Amino acid sequence: MRFIMTLGGLLAVSAALLAETAKPVPVVVDDAHIRAIDDHLTRAAKRGMNGSILIRRHGEVLLRKAYGVRDRENGEPLRLEHGFTIGSIVKPINAVGILKLDGS
């Protein structure tokens, strides 16, 4: 049991170190469609849009990039490793599931 706990601790530390050292790197593949999407999002970011995008085709990353700013007051740019706080979408999904189970 002690071995399993030690192994679990080592895995947790290893995962944390890997996550810290494996920061996502922006990728823009030299493709006309991908460049058009990147240009559009870059223009939108200049008008105040903030967000990030990941486009993959058959496992190959074609576009991975963050746009806009994280903190408008300080002008801190948005980076790929920044998270987003989004609204709770789980409640309506649960409500639909409950209604389906109820038969309504």
Which has the minimum average pLDDT: 27-31, 45-49, 52-56, 61-65?
27-31
CA quadruple 8, 9, 11, 16: dihedral, nearest 10: 140
Is residue 34 in some structural domain?
yes
Please check whether residue 3 lies inside any domain of the structure: no
Examine residue 19 and state whether it is found in any structural domain, yes or no: no
Q: Output the pLDDT for position 101.
A: 87
Give the span between the Cα atoms of 73 and 94, in whole angstroms.
Answer: 37
User: Does residue 90 fall inside a structural domain?
Assistant: yes
**pLDDT given at position 41:** 94
- Say what percent of the chain tops pLDDT 70: 75
In the chain, the number of structural domains is 1
Q: pLDDT tens for residues 61-93?
A: 899 999 999 888 888 998 888 877 766 777 788
Phi, psi torsion values for 38, nearest 5 degrees = -60, -45
Q: Catalytic: 88?
A: yes
Question: Quick one: pLDDT at residue 40?
Answer: 94
**51 contacts 86 by C-beta, under 8 angstroms:** no
Name the average pLDDT for the chain.
76
Choice among 14, 52, 88, 104 that is catalytic:
88
For residues 32 and 27, which has the higher predicted lDDT (pLDDT)?
Answer: 32
* Domain coverage including residue 47: 24-102
Residue 55, domain member (yes or no): yes
CA 7 to chain centre: 29
The sign of the torsion formed by the CA atoms of 83, 84, 85, 86 equals negative
